[in-house]
Chains A and B, each alone.
Chain A
Amino acid sequence: MLAHAILILGVAMVAFPLLLAVIASTQSSQDIITARPLSLLPGTQFLDTYRVALFGGETQAGSRLPPALPMMGVSLISALVIALGKIAISLLSAFAIVYFRFPLRNFVFWMIFVTLMLPVEVRIGPTYEVVADLKMLNTYAGLTVPLIASATATFLFRQFFLTVPDELVEAARMDGAGPMRFFFDVLLPLSATSIAALFVIQFIYGWNQYLWPLLVTTNEDMYPIVLGIKRLISGESYTEWNVLMATAVLALLPPAAVVLLMQKWFVKGLVDTEK
């Protein structure tokens, strides 16, 4: 009983702001500003607000707002490149660390592991310098490449590869499969659930990037949606809360869709391994 109460309270605390955002996005901006407290009944401006949020244009108050759609495109491309890039590079480096004997193998593994302590925020100055020198400001490469290397994912795949029985490797050798053949025919299919789980996590990570895009993009065409939300708040005229909320809801949809669609795989990847 108590457990349920706590759970319900928790859900309410998470869900209420979300509900508020959705409701606010259906009301007009005057309603939001004048009503104290905010009405919890849906308004009638749903279509108008979302049209303005998605495609930009003039609001009733007369301010011009940029369209969210291209920004969502930027976010989608960056998030996909970051997620897939992280998975690809981590799979390959974990494969090298687990299955090949090369000089300083352990040292290399620990080097990768140590970078866990160096997220973007810590190395942001030098990384910016490098990206700027390579003329990658305002490019997709600049938005994504510095975020792709991932110690977490490498470590996760390494742990997974270590649980693959040696006999499977030997059976593949007997069958005449070379290392890359083994990687693609055996290891990759076996890692499918881990890959799916990582994709969900890394897609959201990529989608939610704020600080890094803030630094490396100065061109409006390259702003991701998260930056777009922020810019709506600091607009020159007063804030169009309804459009802001609509944009926030729009920004929330793709990650939510990824989680929902991949939920089954995601859970499977985290809890069980099929061997």
Chain B
Amino acid sequence: MAGISLSNVIKHYVTGKQSVQVIHGISAEIADGEFVVIVGPSGCGKSTLLRMVAGLEEISEGEIAIGARVVNDLEPAERDIAMVFQNYALYPHMSVFDNMAYGLKIRKLPADEIRARVDKAAAILELSPLLDRKPRQLSGGQRQRVAMGRAIVRQPQVFLFDEPLSNLDAKLRAQTRLEIQKLHRELGITSLFVTHDQVEAMTLAQRMIVMNAGVMEQFGTPEEVYRTPASTFVASFIGSPPMNLLRQAPGGRAGEILGVRPEHLDAADTGWKLQVETVELLGAERLVYGRLGTEPVIVRLDANRPAPAPGDTFTVAPRADNLHRFDADSGKRIED
């Protein structure tokens, strides 16, 4: 068992004479047994960061340590890690059993030990009846489980997941999410999980790293990230619909952006007067899209409440203890 320590990790690609920096110095300490999710929009460098931990990308500057060992110059196979790929990357010509056993065979484990480990992993993942099948005879969800099984049998220090759920349909994704959580509870192996889906991030993470444009915007528990977003980027990326960010709100100060989540605006007699543009019913709740002056505002209402109609003026009041303030230039949070 081991934690992961990133210190000032930098990645730049050199193409010809030009050097493009994609990761701008990330430092983070991930505790032993922790489940950390790296989340961010596409192109933010989250997969690159994971691949540097895996050893599939070279580390340009800085240091990555797994346990007490600096792994910068170690081959992926020597890092004592296992990775689940987005497209599963199963060997198409090998049976499920061989797919899981391949890494162990290369490490020259005795055959009965391999058998025992694969059987155990297959039992956990309910793959036992499928061990003789080829990957193409499996459904997407089953392939995904084989990919996880291949990681489990290696009994690594660290699991790395590279968007493993993005090829599954919505229902299966929710189910697999629960399975991964259960697996982590049972095995307690340090896990690093990359996703662009904030729901996955919020539900799976013990702590999450929010990344944007190669920079770590915030590193905290899902609750911290939701309650006290460190920047306007985090505020608008986590939460759906995103936080309203207002430059000219009543009560806001110059040079500051006022943030308030749609669920923290209540219908009131006095307060902000919105011009309602659209109203959407989502079942249990209703989203009201309006404008405060020129700035767009979204309000989330209980569906049982009377709804305003487009064109109405709708008065809402923000809950005072749920207001966030950010610096207008840097986008950073201003603590009260």
Contact = CB atoms under 8 A, between A and B. Distances in A.
Interface stretch (A55-63, A174-182, A200-208): A174-182
A174 B54 contact: yes
Interface string A225-242: 000000000000000000
B76 interface: yes
Interface in B57-113: 75-78, 81-83, 85-93, 102-103, 106-107
A170 B56 contact: yes
A174 B92 CA distance: 17
Contact of A174 (B82, B86, B88, B91): B82
A172 B89 CA distance: 9
Contacts of B82: 174
Interface residues of B, number: 25
Nearest to A164: B92
B103 A167 contact: no
A186 B105 CA distance: 14
B106 A167 contact: no
Contacts of B76: 170, 173-174
A170 B106 contact: no
A189 B134 CA distance: 13
Interface in B18-56: 54-56
Given A165-B87, A177-B106, A275 B92 contact: yes
Interface in A185-227: 185-186, 189-190, 192
A165 B167 CA distance: 16
A175 B102 contact: yes
B85 to A, nearest CB: 5
A195 to B, nearest CB: 13
A: interface residue count bin: 10 to 19
Contact of A171 (B55, B89, B136): B89
Contact of B103 (A168, A175, A186): A175
Contact of B89 (A168, A185, A190): A168
A165 B103 CA distance: 19
Nearest to A176: B77
B83 A181 contact: no
Nearest to A169: B89
Contacts of A177: 77, 102, 106
A274 interface: yes
Nearest to A170: B56
Contact of B77 (A165, A174, A186): A174
Given A173-B76, A190-B93, A167 B102 contact: no
Contacts of A185: 91, 102
Contacts of A186: 91, 93
A274 B93 CA distance: 8
B89 A173 contact: no
Contacts of B85: 167, 170-171
B92 A274 contact: yes
B103 A174 contact: yes
A167 B77 contact: no
A192 B94 CA distance: 13
A165 B106 contact: no
B93 A167 contact: no
A275 to B, nearest CB: 6
Contact of B106 (A168, A176, A190): A176
Interface string B285-298: 00000000000000
B89 A167 contact: yes
Contacts of A175: 77, 102-103, 106, 150
A128 B263 CA distance: 86
A167 B87 contact: yes
Contacts of A275: 92
Given A170-B89, A174-B54, 19 more contacts: A165-B87, A167-B88, A167-B89, A168-B89, A170-B56, A170-B76, A171-B150, A172-B91, A174-B76, A174-B82, A174-B103, A175-B103, A175-B150, A176-B103, A181-B106, A185-B102, A186-B91, A190-B92, A275-B92
Interface of A: 165, 167-168, 170-177, 181, 185-186, 189-190, 192, 274-275
Interface of B: 54-56, 75-78, 81-83, 85-93, 102-103, 106-107, 136, 150
